[in-house]
Amino acid sequence: MGQESSHLVDPDTPPDTLSDRSLRAVAQLIKDGRAKQVVVMTGAGISTAAGIPDFRSPKTGLYHNLARLNLPHPEAVFEIDFFRSNPAPFYLLAKELYPGNFSPTVSHTFITLLAKKGLLRMLFTQNIDCLERAAGVPADRIIEAHGSFATQRCVDCRTPFPDDLMREYVKRGEAPRCTRREACGGLVKPDIVFFGEQLPETFHSNVAVPGLADLVLVMGTSLLVHPFAGLPCRAREGVPRVLFNLERVGDMGTRADDVLVLGDCDSGIRKLADELGWRDELEATWRGIVGEKEAERQLSKSRKEGAVQDELDELDELAGHVADKLGISEGSEGEPDTNIGKQGEGAAGPPHAPSGPPEGSTAGAAAADAAELVDDGPAGPAAVPQGKDERSALGKDQQEPEAEDDDKSALSYEPLKPTTEKPITQTRADAVKAEDEGGGGGNEKPAV
């Protein structure tokens, strides 16, 4: 899903810029002063630790949770025509999502450190949660590609609406109306890009910025929604690109200086902070922003999810071994293929490769080859800051009621595909040359 057709780089191919494809080499690039124009691209994955689910995860994603609002389809809550006729579902959602209900994560705070150290050229985010702002990233370094809750205006006359009044309406779950003296009376909507609306001009005017980067960090995004999905392709050849995500996405892993850090974003960011020698500063800054109680809640949630994932991985591995022993395959019914679950001769990969595209497609092989490109980093307790007593964190966890996690896992917001704009690129060569298009009519549905 979301994979470009490009082939993964051969693991034996040496990098052009990095000493090797690892976080240690990326950290050394920064410490040597060779990465001073860092461009970051983020999606919903950097906000999940805050309690905000992403859009597409089964059973926990936003689209699944929206079923309780009795919409004609989940995406309708972000369709401008549906909003005009029935704004109530959106404002019920906005009441749960509004800034102030959630706190930044370690990943947000790392971007703040990049800005404080004068290394952040620009942050492009698909998120509308404003957590980058809450973490202290300067507003002039943020491109909110799909808008945000930061401002709002009338959908008819475009007159801005006061922040304090908007907050009161959202608290009540009610839709405000325009207060312009001429009695416009139009509905007011946060400046979030809905289906049928164009992306902000700030996105289009800064779309060339990734081409100026000397380091690109891609964090927690499926890279399914264009034109945002084409941004990583705009980085110049030889510029290291680092992916922090649960799985490989887009064309990440196709260049010699791509580094894949697969797993939750916060764990990967902590590994990079360790290599940079920033870990203590990162943890202290983060705790100063969110407070001790919220920090322990996020850490506790991360530990529980990690334990569950470990158990699932063990079960998958066991099932894979059993399948290999019994000769079970994914062939057609009654005619099982022989050992189709095994990797190609000489290929590295787990014996329980996840189900993917049909045989003959490139994505299945790409997933196996990607395992050879992943930097797992040193093993260790990623969720516990240096110098922090593990026992105190666990004790806090045991004292916190389970319901608190439930309260924080309301609904989420990775922005949706708002227009039918052409993708910035489908190939790396086209990406650099393509002229940017304006917004479209918004008739397409987002990839789900």
| pLDDT classification of 185: cutoffs 50, 70, 90 | confident
- For residue 447 the two structure tokens come to 């990839």
Taking only the tens place, the pLDDT of each residue in 233-245 is 999 999 999 999 9
Using the predicted structure, report yes or no on whether residue 334 has a pLDDT greater than 60.
Answer: no
117-126, 188-197, 369-378, 414-423: which range is least confident on average? 414-423
Q: What is the pLDDT of residue 70?
A: 75
Q: What is the pLDDT of residue 369?
A: 55
Taking only the tens place, the pLDDT of each residue in 291-331 is 999 999 999 877 766 665 556 666 767 777 676 767 655 44
Cα–Cα–Cα angle for 171, 154, 142, rounded to 5 degrees:
75
Mean pLDDT of 47-65: 70
Taking only the tens place, the pLDDT of each residue in 254-287 is 999 999 999 999 999 999 999 999 999 999 999 9
Using the predicted structure, report yes or no on whether residue 341 has a pLDDT greater than 50.
Answer: no
Q: What is the pLDDT of residue 262?
A: 95
Residues forming the active site: 146
* Interatomic CA distance for residues 406 and 386, integer angstroms: 28
Instruction: Determine what percent of the chain is predicted with pLDDT higher than 90.
Output: 51
CATH number listed for the domain at residues 23-290+412-433: 3.40.50.1220
| pLDDT classification of 59: cutoffs 50, 70, 90 | low
Q: What is the pLDDT of residue 212?
A: 97
| pLDDT classification of 387: cutoffs 50, 70, 90 | very low
Residue type, 267: S
Using the predicted structure, report yes or no on whether residue 402 has a pLDDT greater than 90.
Answer: no
The two beta strands, 147-154 and 188-192, are antiparallel
Mean pLDDT across the chain:
76
Q: What is the pLDDT of residue 7?
A: 85
- For residue 254 the two structure tokens come to 């196709």
DSSP state string for 265-327? HHHHHHHHHHHHT-HHHHHHHHHHHH-HHHHHHHHHHHHHHHHHHHHHHHHHHHHHHHHHHHT
10 Å CB burial of residue 360 (0-12, 13-18, 19+) is exposed
Highest mean pLDDT (candidates 26-35, 91-100, 322-331, 358-367): 26-35
Residue spans of the domains in the chain: they are 23-290+412-433, 292-371+385-408
